[in-house]
Amino acid sequence: MSVTSGCTLLNVQRLDVLLVRLIFYAGTEWYGFRTLFSPHHLLYQVIKELHIARKKVMYIIKKRQTLQDEKFVQNRDPFGSTL
């Protein structure tokens, strides 16, 4: 296998993965094959994935903060000082 065929195979695999992700992406409607690879649709996907990633990170941060707050409350004595 030559280097160019390896790159082509890799690009085809990436396009296949991208195609599957675009078709089955939650919240994305099917617009037809020719618009699937338009720059606007790809930009929309990137923005949406960044938004979802941000929401996941914020959820994790919020969850950790809640756990820290619960530990802080558990470590307090009745007189209000921390142990």
For the chain, what is the domain count? 2
What is the per-residue pLDDT for 58?
Answer: 87
Is residue 55 located within the same domain as residue 21? no
Parent domain of 23: 1-29
Is residue 42 located within the same domain as residue 68? yes
Q: When comparing pLDDT for 16 and 69, which is higher? A: 69
Is residue 82 located within the same domain as residue 45? yes
What is the DSSP secondary-structure string of the chain? --HHHHHHHHHHHHHHHHHHHHHH-TTPPP--HHHHT-HHHHHHHHHHHHHHHHHHHHHHHHHHHHHHHHHHHHTB-TTS-B-
**pLDDT tens digit sequence for 22-57:** 655 545 555 454 455 565 667 777 778 888 888 888
Is residue 71 located within the same domain as residue 48? yes
Is residue 46 located within the same domain as residue 83? yes
What is the DSSP secondary-structure string of 39-59? HHHHHHHHHHHHHHHHHHHHH
